[in-house]
Chains A and B, each alone.
Chain A
Amino acid sequence: MSDTWPELELAAQGGNEAMDHFARNHSIPHVSGDSATFIFHGDVDEVFLQHWVFGLGSHNPFTRMAGTNWWRLTIEFPRHSRIEYKIGVAKDGHEVWLHDPLNPRIAHDPFGGNSVVQMTGYEEPEWSLPVATVPRGTLESWKIQSKSLHEQREIRVYLPSRYRENRRHRIMFVHDGDDYMRFCRFGAVLDNLTYRREIPPMVVVLLNPHDRLREYAGDRRHAAFVVEEVVPEIEKRYPVISEPSARCLAGASFGGVASLSTAWYYPNTFDMLLLQSGSFAFTDIGQHARGRVFDPVVEFMNRFRKQVGQPAKRIFLSCGVYESLIYENRSFVPLLQKHGIEVKFVEARDGHNWENWRDRLRSGLTWLFPVPLWFYYE
């Protein structure tokens, strides 16, 4: 693997000073064809790449380049991959995880984010970038006293730039809505796709949990809150179409479970679901091995799988192939189809992260909310 970046070998022969100069003048990690080379500088005992690519070891050691304090690691990844990672550093028995100090590309998430390497063929979607000339939607917030949850909740609502009081809009309820806004650039995605008329102007309700692992794990109280309290309030406040065919529930990870379970407890309420890397863990026999937080999810999923019914008519599913949930999501497709549900399933060379979910939004939204774009010419 050492010949993947011959200039690096050459620089290392010049010692620390030459390597410092080299690192300043090159983009790190270095991607060439199917391989990515990472380098790290430090007087430490051990360096390793900590990543979340299911199927590969998560603890990949760097090797020190002779005569320097520089370390290197080359790994092969398939083209079009997008990999999130941290660098682990050990010294005197202590271990810390860092963002790669030489890589300016960081993916943010509620846990502080990761460094990112984008392999050949991956492109950050241009439709997810804010565009100065594209009119922006607006956000407004109000509070609702929930009988189901016995507490007050804040609801945030995105209204599209082409929102009209005299038009009836479709509605999308998004679990972890604020995280979608922060980490998926969801506002820019909605602005851009609406402006291009790839999706209709729609009212987007941002739901945010207080106790996510409980509320989103198939909890009936959450479902009741959404369907019996939020939906009627939205219909009272905004000009929306009061029909299942105009309603969509969306979420990622546990948010996918929350979407599915809400639609399942209240059939004929939502015709559309957008489920990203859903945590659809189940067991055929025995115990699951995903930890106690998954207990209620597995319980719900096992019940669901026994009696699928028709929670929705059209379901968009996406999942990264570098996450363990790919198996559950793949097996979910034929189950849903067997019950007459139209399914669109998209896999990506990515992991369980917000940018993976961002990158699939255009495909999901345009499939669930088709617009006769064909007929429009500006």
Chain B
Amino acid sequence: MASYWDRSTFWRGFRDGLPFVLVVGPFGMLFGVVATEAGLPLVQVMSFSIVVIAGAAQFTALQLMADNAPTIVVIASALAVNLRMAMYSASMTPHLGPLPVWRRALVAYSLVDQSYALSVMEYEKRPEMTLAQKTSYFSGVIAPVLPSWYLATLVGALVGQSIPDSLALDFAVPITFLAMIGPMLRTKAHVAAAVVSVVCALLFAFLPWNLGLIVAGIAGMMTGAFVELRTENKDMA
């Protein structure tokens, strides 16, 4: 046990993770409120946040369930939103791959936007870190982040039970998504992917079973990849 523990690095990770409580907290609370408003019982709201721990995917599932989309479309769309986790997993592997498998499973469970972003930055900044230090830093980051995600969902679910419908919560989900999309539009390729996704989603809205969204997702992805490739080639020329 002791070989994976480095106290000062753990606390450095903890301090770096702490500010993200301010991001994760309100977001988790909003999920709790909206899911409760949608009629989910407390145990299902909490299960979502504990089992899935991925805000965007959870909101996606919630919205599609409200639209009465078929179960398979709900799952496929929500997992598509989570595909980026596979990229996170790939970039953590050179650093944490040597851990025993059950520790890697724990890392995988707690691999979220915040723990990935902070850890990768830290590992690249200090290439001399040992495996123990890398593990401790990762644990330090998630120590404040994960519990606040669970707790915030719980608070939101409890608050949600007493919120009147007139508060226009129907629009909480679109606003949350739009707020996440804004910062994602970092390059021309991202903007192009988003625009194509919107156009296709509207054009194919007539398709049954929310398949329009699947079409939009695939078209948007291919557009992003295509524009990125073209931009790169132009840079090289």
Pairing of A with B: no
| Chain B residues at the A interface, C-beta cutoff of 8 Å | none
